[in-house]
């Protein structure tokens, strides 16, 4: 059995959660014996085609809806999980679920794969005022990845972050996939959704999908939008997070209430797909993200992204070809958007190229992952 361990899973929606779910779904489709191990979310019943094992948890302060898991004191869960016939465990984060995966790997003498998805130092620094404690926690993260048999990263530029943290081992690049890749009906979806949203002819629709947290540079984004308030556009924010209330107040203070619409979290993937298709540009100025799925999801629906040049997220973008890059100020970001609004043909061309170059299917990725798992297990046995 392959065990996929992560500290969140749907209905908690973020890039790592969706990655874990797509790994599990497509590995199961390819006839691999797979399960997911994750903290409990109150009121949730899992109806997946593969088993999902959940352990006791509490709300994580300041990070709603995330949970802090306690697998070792959930005795019923722990007794059951330690009897499962794992052949390989794959940790998608280094905390409660990752630590459990490491203990199982060491106890069973089986391989541990660990994917480095997130910039954990930024999370620590937001919540912890002590620099020495932050450094201690980062060292623990590095120690976790040094304990793995293979460390995977979702794109090459993510290696820089790991090296900054002090990791000195090898890494393997394993792409993230996209469950919208290969979509052929995006034009009809676009027209229908724009009618539903009452987007007028000649009006632009911009989109952001992700956690509403300051680390994703959302103040920067709203300040850029304020510089465009006299132009014909509507901006849709999809997601939730601790900064949502303050973000709404910022929008109001800049007199953008008639321009900016907050839609909350959308868990229906078909509905979310329609928003991607309807948008002209996906605006994602985050310096916090490593390899955001949302940029790839937008690309699959022929919607190019505008990102900050030099950010880790921007590695997959060739400016003007499959997306657009801006300088790291609200003024420059606004100017980039403004310059594109007078060249809609350029936006359309970049969207087509984005769908061809950065929207790889999860089914394709899962085939590669299956081969890698089998190779790792064979190497480990020998």
Whether 342 and 196 share a structural domain = yes
Angle at 221 between CA 329 and CA 177, to 5 degrees: 105
Residue 38 pairs in a beta bridge with 54
Both tokens assigned to 338: 């403004």
Same domain, 56 and 95: yes
Could you tell me which of 249, 253, 264, 210 has the C-alpha nearest to residue 229? Answer: 253
CA angle centred on 178, ends 280 and 334, rounded to 5°: 30
Task: Clarify whether residues 145 and 253 are in a common domain.
Answer: no
Specify whether 164 is located in the same domain as 237: no
Of 214, 55, 192, nearest in space to 223 by CA = 214
Looking at the structure, tell me whether residues 280 and 193 fall in a common domain. yes
Tokens at residue 355, please?
Answer: 């769908």
Number of structural domains the chain divides into: 2
CATH number for the domain including 14? 3.40.50.2000
pLDDT at position 182 = 84
Q: Both 338 and 374 in a single domain?
A: no
Same structural domain, 245 and 279: yes
What does pTM read for this prediction? 0.91
In tens digits, the chain (382 residues) has pLDDT values of: 999 999 999 999 899 999 999 999 999 999 999 999 999 999 889 999 999 999 999 998 878 889 999 999 999 999 999 999 999 999 999 999 999 999 999 999 999 999 999 999 998 998 899 999 999 999 999 999 999 999 999 999 999 999 999 999 999 999 999 989 988 888 999 999 999 999 999 999 999 999 999 999 999 999 999 999 999 999 999 999 999 999 999 999 999 999 999 999 999 999 999 999 999 999 999 999 999 999 999 999 999 999 999 999 999 999 999 999 999 999 999 999 999 999 999 999 999 999 999 999 999 999 999 999 999 999 998 8
Q: Which residues pair with 282 in a beta bridge?
A: 207, 305
Range of the domain at 18: 2-177+361-381
Interior angle at CA 83, CA 82 and CA 86, nearest 5: 85
DSSP-derived letter for residue 60 is: P
């Amino acid at each position: 059995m392959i065990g996929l361990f992560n500290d969140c899973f749907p209905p908690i929606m973020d890039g790592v959660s969706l990655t874990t779910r797509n790994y599990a779904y497509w590995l199961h489709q390819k006839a691999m014996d797979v399960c997911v191990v994750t903290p409990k979310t109150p009121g949730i019943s899992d109806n997946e085609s593969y088993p999902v094992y959940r352990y006791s948890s509490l709300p994580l302060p300041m990070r709603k809806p995330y949970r802090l898991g306690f697998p070792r004191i959930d005795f019923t869960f722990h007794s059951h999980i330690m009897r499962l016939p794992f052949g390989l465990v794959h940790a998608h984060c280094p905390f409660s679920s990752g630590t459990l995966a490491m203990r199982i790997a060491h106890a069973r003498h089986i391989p541990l794969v660990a994917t480095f998805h997130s910039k954990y130092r930024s999370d620590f620094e937001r919540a912890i005022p002590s620099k020495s404690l932050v450094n201690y926690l980062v060292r623990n993260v590095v120690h976790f990845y040094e304990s793995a048999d293979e460390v995977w990263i979702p794109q090459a530029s993510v290696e820089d972050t790991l090296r900054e943290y002090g990791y000195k081992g090898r890494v393997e690049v394993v792409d993230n996939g996209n469950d919208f890749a290969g979509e052929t009906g995006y034009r009809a979806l676009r027209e229908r959704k724009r009618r539903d949203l009452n987007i007028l002819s000649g009006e632009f629709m911009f989109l952001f999908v992700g956690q509403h947290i300051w680390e994703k540079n959302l103040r920067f984004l709203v300040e850029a939008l304020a510089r465009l308030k006299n132009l014909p556009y509507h901006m849709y924010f999809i997601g939730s997070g601790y900064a949502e209330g303050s973000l709404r107040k910022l929008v109001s203070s800049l007199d953008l209430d008639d321009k900016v619409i907050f839609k909350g979290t959308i868990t229906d993937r078909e509905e979310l797909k329609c928003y991607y298709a309807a948008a002209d540009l996906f605006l994602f100025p985050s310096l916090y993200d490593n390899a955001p799925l949302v940029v790839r999801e937008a690309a699959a629906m022929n919607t190019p992204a505008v990102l900050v040049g030099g950010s880790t997220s921007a590695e997959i973008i060739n400016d003007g070809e499959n997306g657009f890059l801006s300088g790291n100020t609200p003024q420059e970001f606004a100017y980039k958007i403004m310059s594109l609004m007078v060249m809609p043909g350029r936006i359309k061309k970049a969207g087509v190229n984005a769908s061809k170059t950065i929207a790889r299917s999860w089914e394709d990725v899962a085939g590669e992952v299956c081969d890698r798992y089998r190779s790792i297990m064979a190497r480990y046995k020998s």
